[in-house]
Structure 1
């Protein structure tokens, strides 16, 4: 009975996440953990070696039964294997890629624990019934290329990742999405591949924060980090090189 309840729980989590993950081909497990357990995501991902650029097959190699200093779901290895085995028949007629995504969600659920999964579903349900819509903000920031070498456009990143970017910023600004779009138009950006430029090349990063209204207008890094929502959805919308030695548009930014 316990296994049946867990199987249903994992399916519910998969259904809630499916629209956000099934079009991705890397960093899926990393992004699931950020969404389901944002406060512990950095701890879990570091302990298990989960990368934001890992392939689906790499994600499937993560063994959730290896305890690494936090309390995962209290089921033994046999129960975990039974859960995977029980889902095989259901997946025989499923698209192979979709089956992979469901297995990765199961691994994530085992890592974060049953309680965290239920809290995530409860919070999602409450958000759906809450009349208040989160007010978004956009963080526009310039950092050396080395700081964002493992980050790509459309990545979901953790609050810890954003704090690291803020700590290494050369210029920064947090404003409304509309103002951010206007400001970006005045920057001189290039089409260069950021993975091939020097580590110190200036990179413009645009991060959408779905509940970051308290960050808008903050002029010092400490205030930005203090008001960064730990449970917010943080998505990298834009990554681009600034034209070499260009300062066009940067007069609107705060300088670290």
Structure 2
């Protein structure tokens, strides 16, 4: 049985594998778009940020995976892998894709903090206040106004 912490990754592999098993290039790209199926703008953002291409070879995908999980750790984990050999390659792509999908939250967090800091810094800087050279005038009092109804004379003549 799969360790409960790996169950989600195992489920993602099983969902994604049929769609990518026959691809020769752009596997990581495709996995990201599959995982983020309702959010293609986020998938595109990740792909642009990490230079993931639709035309990437398996070696190029492997180089990106190596930036996150080195070959030694993958080789050790593959010895106790729960997947057959054709799914092992997809497993590591899914692991990195899930990390990258999680990076969306981190990027948004960083952007919110930066925005908060710039807004906060803007508030702390005192801006010069324009001072009028005219004498101080007391505030005006409001006027009470009555609304009059204008009616034609022939209508009023018939009133009793």
User: Normalising by the residue count of structure 1, what TM-score does the alignment of the two structures yield?
Assistant: 0.33
Paired residues in the alignment total 100
1:50-199 to 2 correspondence within 5 Å?
A: 50-63=52-65, 84=74, 87-91=77-81, 94-95=84-85, 97-113=86-102
**Displaced runs of 4 or more, over 3 A:** 63-66, 79-87, 90-93
Q: Cα offset for 1:86?
A: 6.6
User: Normalising by the residue count of structure 2, what TM-score does the alignment of the two structures yield?
Assistant: 0.50
Q: Which has the larger radius of gyration?
A: 2
> Any gaps of 5 or more consecutive residues in structure 1?
67-78, 117-256
Partner of 1:131: none
Greater strand share, structure number? 1
Q: Cα offset for 1:50?
A: 0.4
Q: Secondary structure of the equivalent of 2:25?
A: coil
Partner of 2:33: 34
Q: Secondary structure of the equivalent of 2:64?
A: coil
Q: What is the root-mean-square deviation of aligned Cα atoms in Å?
A: 3.5
1:196-253 Cα offsets, whole Å, 9 max, x none, are xxxxxxxxxxxxxxxxxxxxxxxxxxxxxxxxxxxxxxxxxxxxxxxxxxxxxxxxxx
Q: Cα offset for 1:61?
A: 1.4
> Any gaps of 5 or more consecutive residues in structure 2?
106-160
